[in-house]
A and B are shown apart, each in its own frame.
Chain A
Amino acid sequence: MKSWTGLAALLLLTVCSAGEEAADADDLAEQDWEEITAAADGAEIGIYMWGGDEGLNAYIDEVVAPALEESYDITLTRYPMEAPEFLSRLRTEREAGSMDGTADILWINGENFRIAKENELLYGSFADLLPNMDAYVNEDAPYVETDMGIPVEGMQVPWGNVQYAFQFRGDAEPPETMEELFSWAEENPGAFTYPNVSNDTGAGFVRHVMHHVADDPEILETFDEEWLEENGEDVWRILRELQPHLWREGRTYPETLEQQDQLFSSGEVDVTLGFNEYRAESLVDQGTFPEDTQTVGLESGSIASTHYLSMPFNTTEPEAALTAINYFLSPEAQTAKLDPERWGEGHILDLDALSEEENDAIESLSGEEIVPQETILPELDARYVDWIQENWEQEVVQQR
């Protein structure tokens, strides 16, 4: 029903006002948390999120949704959609003045957060309303304050931390630095590739090349046009030199990470990659990835990325969305997220704020450390992603 009224509103370009006005962030700030959870009782909410990871989908459907149903009588529906698509949809709804949104929670970060914030697609500053934010998340952590150079201002809360890692099949000595990776690709023609930079995994690989070019990782944390003018060409040159050694001699690139995973699993390429250093475990268990898959976090540095939960401007159930997001941040939900059999994804809890049992539970589920703390690289300013996406095809793919 909801989506139908939304559609009708869009088509006729009329301003449709929902019968009951949803509370805004300021109204909710005046309420007790108990009042908010009480108002959430029996609500049906939706979450827009990328659906390309089986383990993640299983985590939402088998852990989070039943728990919300049980504790708060909230029904959570997952709408698998890529961030650019749901943001585009929200923008159209914003233009049409449709306050009757389909989803109540968004999974976003970085570049997508910037777009959402600049186009006023978000609900508002809500982080301070959440008890678990206060209790379990270290609010001084840099990722709470800024997301790829953009001030967060409480408009989203961290949900998970992941590192970028590479998966190699059947190689006794996989490369350990970017430099070694380039020569490895040269020695193993056709074995390596990375996805089209239109998706975050592909752009993430180019961000690593940028770190490789930059002398000091801190330079890239804020957008610097001058740096790009001086060093941008080096980034493209490295990628151009790499190109002939890639899968299909670099004539084409996998369109998505899913496609590269498929090539990896069928043996057409020997490397796949991506954010979340533990993502291969469940895929190996299911037999999708080969037994001898080896995950490598580069010693030369691996980008750590935080992703966040936020709320759209047109949520109809803000109380239930807040209650659910608060649950997403709880030690229980965060610990279950670590389980490599499902998602195996990094938590955002402040270990000092947890009890001893909670700490033990986390330790028992955390896999072997793949990316040592000292090699973690900061995420780049989101505007560099625009630069990569606007120029990569012209500077690399077309230059053959």
Chain B
Amino acid sequence: MSSSVKSWLLALPVLLFMAVFAAQGLYRAWLESVQVDGAGLFSAYTELLTGRTFWASFGISVYVSFISAVLSVVIGLWLVRLLHRYFLRDDWKLAVWFPMLIPHFAAAYLTVLFFSPGGWFASVSASAGLDGFPILVNDPLYIGVILTYLWKEIPFVVLMLLPVYQELDWRMEEAARSLGAGAWTRFKTVELPWSGPVLLEVWLILFVFMLGAYEIPVLLGVTYPSMLPVLAFEWFYQAGWSQRPLAQAMMVVLTAISAFTAFLLLYIIQRSRRRWLRGGMRA
């Protein structure tokens, strides 16, 4: 058996699973989003893309997901670089991975408990004589949502990066140092060829996940603009199901955007992996 046939066979269960769950769901969403009667086949799409509600939600969703994913990756990377030697020990690992065990909705409630105007930090700062604790929950800038995502996702970044740093050949680092490379050059030539692709992949996973996640924005977001999944849920269920085609059209558009971003990034990762490795060799 040729190796490519074999690898397809090995992938078969996953492909089948995706066909049954993802593709079938997407197909049904597509069916419900096109209007066969009267209004015009793509009227839901026209209404969606010309309405201000969708674009406001789109803007806030991309903003929250982008910022949260970038900050998670940057802080995660910083933590791993700083502490990867300690993370060889299980108790350190457990401590940093702990937030991953908490479900997202519970994390949202913890944020309310600590950061809301009636919460723990507000009362501590009030008793310290400080007035005007900022509004960080259900705030129009979605700071509460971003904070919660950071707390949840930084451990995930650490989890994904740790093997890279623990496998890294640190003799390269010493060689670079003895050749007079500065901190940035050492990072770029020794670490980035290995950690770069992982960083981009993790960023992609986080970004697409946050774009489609419902629990945290529904608990900590605002009524308008709401993040896309919250809007989709509302359109899907309320007003006698009359807005369902809109919700389904939005899901189709969102899936297309996610898929496009993923292909673009994976393509970049493929290319830069080669370039980074070459760059690494040169050093």
- Give the B-binding residues of A (Cβ under 8 A): 11, 82, 84-85, 88, 111, 114-115, 196, 198, 248, 251-253, 255, 259, 263, 266-268, 385-386, 389-390, 393-394, 397-398
B238 & A84 in contact (Cβ 8 Å cutoff): yes
A267 & B224 in contact (Cβ 8 Å cutoff): no
A266 & B218 in contact (Cβ 8 Å cutoff): no
A11 & B53 in contact (Cβ 8 Å cutoff): no
Closest chain A residue, CB of each to CB of B118: A266
Among candidates B52, B53, B116, B222, residue contacting A252 with C-beta atoms closer than 8 Å: B222
Closest chain B residue, CB of each to CB of A82: B237
Bound CA span A49–B117, Å: 33
Q: Does B5 contact A (CB under 8 A)?
A: no
A248 & B241 in contact (Cβ 8 Å cutoff): no
B118 & A251 in contact (Cβ 8 Å cutoff): no
- Give the Cβ gap from B194 to chain A, nearest Cβ, in Å: 41
A394 & B238 in contact (Cβ 8 Å cutoff): no
Closest chain A residue, CB of each to CB of B21: A11
Among candidates A111, A267, A393, residue contacting B53 with C-beta atoms closer than 8 Å: A393
Closest chain B residue, CB of each to CB of A95: B28
- Give the Cβ gap from B87 to chain A, nearest Cβ, in Å: 38
Q: Which residues of B contact A248 (CB under 8 A)?
A: 135, 138
B224 & A397 in contact (Cβ 8 Å cutoff): yes
Interface size bracket, B side:
20 to 34
- Give the Cβ gap from A126 to chain B, nearest Cβ, in Å: 24
Q: Which residues of A contact B63 (CB under 8 A)?
A: none
B239 & A252 in contact (Cβ 8 Å cutoff): no
| Among A253, A255, A268, residue most surrounded by chain B Cβ atoms (within 10 Å) | A255
- Give the Cβ gap from B261 to chain A, nearest Cβ, in Å: 28
A11 & B24 in contact (Cβ 8 Å cutoff): yes
Q: Which residues of B contact A393 (CB under 8 A)?
A: 53, 223-224
Bound CA span A73–B50, Å: 58
Residues A390 and B239 in contact in the complex (CB < 8 Å), given A252-B140, A266-B118: yes
Residues A268 and B140 in contact in the complex (CB < 8 Å), given A84-B238, A390-B242, A394-B53: no
Bound CA span A263–B119, Å: 11
B242 & A398 in contact (Cβ 8 Å cutoff): no
A390 & B243 in contact (Cβ 8 Å cutoff): yes
B243 & A251 in contact (Cβ 8 Å cutoff): no
Q: Does B58 contact A (CB under 8 A)?
A: no
Residues A397 and B223 in contact in the complex (CB < 8 Å), given A84-B238, A111-B240, A115-B240: yes
A386 & B118 in contact (Cβ 8 Å cutoff): no
Closest chain A residue, CB of each to CB of B52: A398
- Give the Cβ gap from B107 to chain A, nearest Cβ, in Å: 17
- Give the Cβ gap from A197 to chain B, nearest Cβ, in Å: 8
The 8 A CB mask of B191-235 against A (1 = contact, 0 = none) is 000000000000000000000000000110111100000000010
- Give the Cβ gap from A189 to chain B, nearest Cβ, in Å: 14
Bound CA span A248–B238, Å: 25
Bound CA span A245–B9, Å: 63
Q: Does B236 contact A (CB under 8 A)?
A: yes
Chain B, range 230-283, C-beta contacts under 8 Å to A? 234, 236-243
B218 & A386 in contact (Cβ 8 Å cutoff): no
Q: Which residues of B contact A390 (CB under 8 A)?
A: 239, 242-243
Bound CA span A397–B234, Å: 15
A255 & B223 in contact (Cβ 8 Å cutoff): yes
Q: Which residues of A contact B237 (CB under 8 A)?
A: 82, 84-85, 88, 198
Bound CA span A386–B241, Å: 9
- Give the Cβ gap from B102 to chain A, nearest Cβ, in Å: 19
Closest chain A residue, CB of each to CB of B138: A252
Q: Does B130 contact A (CB under 8 A)?
A: no
Q: Does B20 contact A (CB under 8 A)?
A: yes
B140 & A251 in contact (Cβ 8 Å cutoff): yes
Closest chain B residue, CB of each to CB of A88: B237
Closest chain A residue, CB of each to CB of B241: A115
Residues A253 and B118 in contact in the complex (CB < 8 Å), given A11-B24, A248-B135, A390-B243: no
Closest chain B residue, CB of each to CB of A397: B224
B241 & A268 in contact (Cβ 8 Å cutoff): no
| Among B117, B219, B236, B241, residue most surrounded by chain A Cβ atoms (within 10 Å) | B241
Q: Which residues of B contact A385 (CB under 8 A)?
A: 239-240
Q: Which residues of A contact B239 (CB under 8 A)?
A: 385-386, 389-390
A88 & B236 in contact (Cβ 8 Å cutoff): yes
Bound CA span A266–B123, Å: 12
- Give the Cβ gap from A388 to chain B, nearest Cβ, in Å: 8
Bound CA span A255–B105, Å: 14
Q: Which residues of B contact A251 (CB under 8 A)?
A: 140, 222
Bound CA span A82–B238, Å: 11
- Give the Cβ gap from A179 to chain B, nearest Cβ, in Å: 25
- Give the Cβ gap from A345 to chain B, nearest Cβ, in Å: 25
Q: Which residues of A contact B221 (CB under 8 A)?
A: 252
Q: Which residues of B contact A263 (CB under 8 A)?
A: 118
Q: Which residues of A contact B218 (CB under 8 A)?
A: 255
Bound CA span A111–B223, Å: 22
Bound CA span A11–B20, Å: 7
Q: Which residues of A contact B243 (CB under 8 A)?
A: 390
Q: Which residues of A contact B234 (CB under 8 A)?
A: 198
Residues A198 and B238 in contact in the complex (CB < 8 Å), given A11-B24, A266-B118, A393-B53: yes
Bound CA span A267–B119, Å: 11
Additional pairs, 10, CB under 8 Å, beyond known A11-B21, A268-B118, A385-B240: A82-B237, A88-B237, A111-B240, A115-B240, A198-B234, A252-B223, A267-B118, A268-B117, A386-B242, A398-B52
- Give the Cβ gap from B214 to chain A, nearest Cβ, in Å: 11
Bound CA span A198–B24, Å: 29
| Among B52, B240, B241, B242, residue most surrounded by chain A Cβ atoms (within 10 Å) | B240
Bound CA span A77–B219, Å: 28
The 8 A CB mask of B139-165 against A (1 = contact, 0 = none) is 010000000000000000000000000
Q: Which residues of B contact A82 (CB under 8 A)?
A: 237
Q: Which residues of A contact B24 (CB under 8 A)?
A: 11
